[in-house]
Amino acid sequence: MNRVTLKGNLARDPEVKTIEVNDKSTTVANFTIAVSRFFKRSDGTKDKNTEFIACEAWDTGAESIGKLLSKGDPVLLEGSLKTESWEKDGQKFSRLKVRVSTFECLYRAPKKEGEFTEDTPEMAVAGSKNKNDANDIPF
């Protein structure tokens, strides 16, 4: 099974392009998310490790990501890993990339008006950046 679930923040604005594939136009969005892991060291100090992960979305998902997300926005995504390989000046390169199948825009609910902290619970609201939408959720 090749399935990945990640929650992080966009490290840069998505790069959205329309390309020709098999004589058809399609849209692709390439972006990077920063995913952090928080932990305590053996001496009790808190620390974090951040990984920057390349992602791509296609078709309507790519269009939506281009319209809804920008640098710094939190996102929850699911997809699969794929290896991208290329050659430049006779040297071979490769990297892992996440091909996004679904995503949700996230935002942090503030503890106090305008205050955001690292341990604030997050509320998923697909397609919206309006924090007042959380009041419409029935639970």
pTM: 0.72
For 40-65, the DSSP string reads E-TTS-EEEEEEEEEEEEEHHHHHHH
How much of the chain, in percent, has pLDDT values that exceed 90?
Answer: 73
Task: Look at phi and psi of residue 131 and say left if phi exceeds 0, alpha if psi is from -120 to 50, else beta.
Answer: alpha
- Count CB neighbours of 33 within 10 A: 25
Q: Which CATH number fits domain 4-106: 2.40.50.140, 3.40.50.300, 3.20.170.30, 3.30.70.141?
A: 2.40.50.140
Tens digit of each residue's pLDDT (9 = 90 or more) over 53-62: 999 999 999 9
Of the pLDDT bands very low, low, confident and very high (cuts 50, 70, 90), residue 126 is: very low
Give the residue extent of every domain in the chain.
4-106
Nearest to 129 by CA among 58, 74, 78, 62: 74
Tens digit of each residue's pLDDT (9 = 90 or more) over 21-75: 788 999 999 999 999 999 999 999 999 999 999 999 999 999 999 999 999 999 9
